[in-house]
Amino acid sequence: MATLDWSQCPAVESVPGKVSGAWVFRGTRVPVSAIFENLKCSSVDEVVENFHVTQEQVQAVLDFAARSAQLPPDSSRAA
């Protein structure tokens, strides 16, 4: 499975020494992985409230992940 290049998502950052360099929401210590884990059993509104991130931050991460899962426009599908 391919790894997402989170450096291309402006809503997140990875800072050495901050949460062990994990990808976190910019300006926070909230790991991106925690959001995905919690979305399994919570709504986006609950995640926003519990983790003190914004709806826009969560949406930016979800949109980035969704775009990253799409096929590139010039690729063709195997028959």
Full set of structural domains in the chain with CATH: 6-69 (1.10.10.10)
Mean per-residue pLDDT for 31-37?
A: 95
CB count within 10 Å of CB 23 equals 19
List, in sequence order, every residue forming a beta bridge with 31; answer none if it has no partner. Answer: 24
Banded pLDDT at 3 (limits 50, 70, 90): confident
Half-sphere exposure (CA, 13 Å, Cβ side) for 11?
17
**Closest among 67, 68, 48 to 58, alpha carbons compared:** 48
pTM (two decimals): 0.80
pLDDT at 70: 78
Residue 34 CA to residue 59 CA, distance in Å, equals 14
